[in-house]
Every structure is written in C-alpha cells, then in structure tokens.
Amino acid sequence: MNGLLEIKKRILDDIVSSGSYTETEEKRIKYLSKKGEITLLFGQIKDIEPENRKEFGQFVNDLRTEAFDLINSLKEKYSETSAETIDLTLPGKLPGSGSYHPLNMIRDDLKKIFRKMGFSVATGPEVETEYYIFDALNMPSWHPARKTTDSLFLSEGKLLRTETSSVQIRTMEKGKPPFRIIAPGRVYRNEKENATHTAMFSQCEGLYVNRGVSFSELKGTLKEFFKILYGKDTVIRFRPHYFPFTEPSAEVDVSCFKCKGKGCSLCKRSGWLELGGCGMVHPKLLENVGIDSEEFTGFAFGLGIERLAMLKYGVNDIRDFTENDLRFLDQF
C-alpha cells in the first residue's frame, strides 16, 4: 500500500502542475487513456494475492475517479481563462473552401470540346449485364476480360461495368442512325493498383455512326480533340491494335509529359503514354442492334479520363486523384 500511495501522490501532483488546457489533456492521455498508467494498473490485479485483490482494485478505481475529476476541473478552469483572453478586435480566420476536383475539370473540358464537334452526352448504369458488357460487344466466351481475374462480378450474372462501351449499345438500341455521342463515367476492373492503374477509374467512350463514316474522320476527330486539350504542338500516334468491337482498331498515345519522350518509369521507358483505344465499329455490333452494316458505318473510341488529367496537370501517380490529400487537391 505504501507503494500505491506514492504512485497516487506522484500522479495527482503531476496533474495539478499542468499550466494550460493542452498540458492537462496531455496528462489525461498519459494516465487515463487506453494505455495510460492508471489504466495499466488494472491489468496488474491478476498478479496480486487473492486476499488483496479487492483492496487493490478499489484503490486503483478511486485513483482513476479522483484523477478524472481533477483533470475535468482543470480543463474547465483553463477553458474559462482562454475565453476571457480572446481579443474580439482581431480579424477572424476564414474557413477553408473546397476546390474543383481535377477529374471534374477534365470532364468538363472533354464535354465542352466534343459538344462543339456535334457530340451529345449519354449515360448508362454502372451495374450491367454480361450481354451489354461482353456479348453485344462481340466478346467471345473465352475472352480474358470475362474472367473474374479481370472483371468484378456480382450475383445473377451482373457485374460492375468494365468500360462505358455498354452505353453505345444502349444508345443504338433506342433509335436509328445517325448517332454522335460521348459517354463519360466510372468503370471498374480487377486491377492491381500502381502509378497508372486502379480498380476504379473513369472512361469516356465516343461513338459516331452514319453513312460513309471513315477511319480518317476518326483520326481527325481525335487529333483535333487532343490539340484543343493540350495545345497545337501535341504529338500523337496511332498504333495498330485488336479490339473485338472495332475493326480495324488502334491505340492512341501521347508523348510522355514527365520525360519528354526520353523514357521513364511512368511511361515504362517507352516515351509514350497510352490514353485509349479506337477503331471502326465492327459490323457485327451494328447487326446486333438492328442496324444495316452495309448502309451504315461508324467509329468508336475510349479515353482514360484520369490519364488525360495526368498529362494535362503533370500528375505522375493516378492514385493521387482519390486519396483526398489536401496538399494535392489545394493545387487546383
């Protein structure tokens, strides 16, 4: 008991010596928090002789109550003191204000540019069926995108959409050509996160279907878009590629902003950043929605909105857009 009395005196004297509200709060954490000294004393009850445990426990409980009351009285005292010393003639501190998110900024730029080219904005559900994500887009049953290692499946044959191409199918089902739409929105994939990939990101699909649409119109549309978005000196290239929903197909690259085309970790030493895919709408897609592929042709493209923003604002890690770090967001 002599040892306990010494502990009690030391703790209470230490609390009384607090000279401010902040110091008092520090003492509360030191003695009464989950890992505080008084709290830890309760854990020693099991080591006390059985006949002394009740007395030990009562002593520690009383000490906790006394320390708690003392801390609260000191906090009240220092709160009143602080209120009395407030200088009401000083200018107030303005609260922080929010800023426009860079992804919203790039979406607005994207919509504005394409609307001037005659495109309208279309939307669709984020939870889709396999028909709109795979079957209607000419993806065979063996396609890797249909596996759980690539896509995020839900119950009853539904999944989170892997691309906004499903909006193209839904749009064409509702009417007759011509169609000229863009479909920006969130998409989801079973991706391992790194500087350029996340499981949730944003895409913008584009579709133009009419009589006599050619691949040169596709190239001209995308070149004009990138030059308006990034400036007239923007370097773009089209690489032959394969997509089941377009034929012929290509991928669109822009020279890497970080290394200026010399090669770095962001562009995987290639000097280029992949921004999306494009091509002429596969005739089978048109037939799937009841459009005569002999009479009508079209082009489609898909652009990664985060990657557009990374290039425009000099962001080298795609995860910065969703981590809510004010040091990053305040720049916009």
Residue 150: pLDDT over 90? no
CA distance 108 to 277: 21
Q: Which DSSP letter does residue 182 get?
A: E
DSSP strand pairing (297-304 vs 272-281): antiparallel
Residue, of 81 and 152, whose pLDDT is higher = 152
Return the biggest CA–CA distance within the chain.
100
Residues 6 or more apart from 199 whose CB is under 8 A from it?
Answer: 152, 188, 189, 190, 191, 193
Check: CB of residue 199 under 8 Å from CB of residue 190. Answer: yes
Reported as a single tens digit per residue, the pLDDT across 278-295 is 999 999 999 999 999 999
Q: How far is CA 31 from the centre of its chain?
A: 40
- Name the band, by pLDDT with cuts 50, 70 and 90, for residue 235: confident
- Mean pLDDT score of the chain: 89
Which pTM value belongs to this model? 0.67
The CATH architecture to which 102-329 belongs is 2-Layer Sandwich (3.30)
Q: How far apart are CA 13 and CA 169, in angstroms?
A: 76
Q: 146: which residues sit within 8 A by CB, 6+ positions away?
A: 130, 134, 139
**pLDDT value at 83 more than 60:** no
Cα–Cα distance measured from residue 60 to residue 278, given in angstroms and rounded to the nearest whole number: 73
Report how far Cα 70 is from the mean position of its chain's Cα atoms. Answer: 46
Q: What is the pLDDT of residue 165?
A: 92
Is the separation of the CB atoms in 277 and 250 below 8 Å?
yes
Structure tokens that stand for 129 in this block:
């069926």
| 244 pLDDT above the threshold of 70 | yes
Domain chopping of the chain, boundaries = 2-84, 102-329
User: Average pLDDT of 241-249?
Assistant: 93
> Is the confidence at residue 82, as pLDDT, over 60?
no
In order, the DSSP letters of 43-75 are TTGGGS-GGGHHHHHHHHHHHHHHHHHHHHHHH
Residues 6+ away with beta carbon under 8 Å from 297: 209, 210, 211, 212, 213, 214, 280, 281
What lies within 8 Å, CB to CB, of 143 at 6+ separation is 134, 244
Question: Residues 297, 280: contact at Cβ < 8 Å?
Answer: yes
Whole-number pLDDT of residue 84: 54
202, 186 contact by CB (below 8 A):
yes
Strand, helix or coil for residue 129 = strand
pLDDT single digits (tens) 9-65: 999 999 999 888 889 999 999 999 988 898 888 888 888 888 888 888 898 899 999
